[in-house]
Amino acid sequence: MTLKRYGPDVLTVADELTAAYAEVFTAPPWEPRDAEETRVEFRERLEADVRRPGFRAMLALSEDGGVDGFAIGWTTQAPFRTDRAYGKVIRRLGAERVNELLVGCFEIDELGVRSRARGTGLGWRLLSALSSGAPGGRAWLMTWNGAPDALAFYRRAGWREPEPLPGEETDMVVFLAPGRADEGVSRLGTQASAH
């Protein structure tokens, strides 16, 4: 298995990537989804997302050319989006903190590993490879709080959760890359104390 970096040319392997995405995100714990609808929705998003500033993807390719894992992201732009689950991020952190912590940073939008490649460290390799180019280590991602394995994975990898606004927790959890110098964020999401 080899890791390969892509830009917009990821569309040359879009069929293989879409098949991997549909397998990962129609299996538990993700909400029950129709596999064909998931494929179509992801493919349409991918074709638009490759035009985002800073877009890049890291794919783990098997010897037969299949995609065993993927990580996709881009630079978060202002104004911050409100489609998909982004509105929940604004509610959770507040617009000011979203602008401070997320806008201008590299966003990991998708990360997935097919069942046949799990337990090999591939998720960590993909996440590290894609986020390593983020200026100043400033990368972020969000995931669903109904995916305990994903939450545990990001915490083990050293990603930190900014404290939600009081009473504004949502079903989306935000993580910041390890090594960021952002104030007020600790590894487990509690406010850091000043020393």
Distance, in Å, from the CA atom of 139 to the CA atom of 74, rounded to the nearest integer, reads: 10
Tens of each residue's pLDDT in the chain, 195 residues? 899 999 999 999 999 999 999 999 998 888 778 889 999 999 999 999 999 999 999 999 998 889 999 999 999 999 999 999 999 999 999 999 999 999 999 999 999 999 999 999 999 999 999 998 888 889 999 999 989 999 999 999 999 999 999 988 889 999 999 976 554 444 333 333 333
Scan for tokens 């979203």, then name that residue: 98
Vertex 129: Cα angle to 127 and 133 (nearest 5): 110
Distance, in Å, from the CA atom of 135 to the CA atom of 22, rounded to the nearest integer, reads: 31
Residue type, 193: S
pTM > 0.95: yes or no: no
Q: What is the reported pLDDT for 133?
A: 82
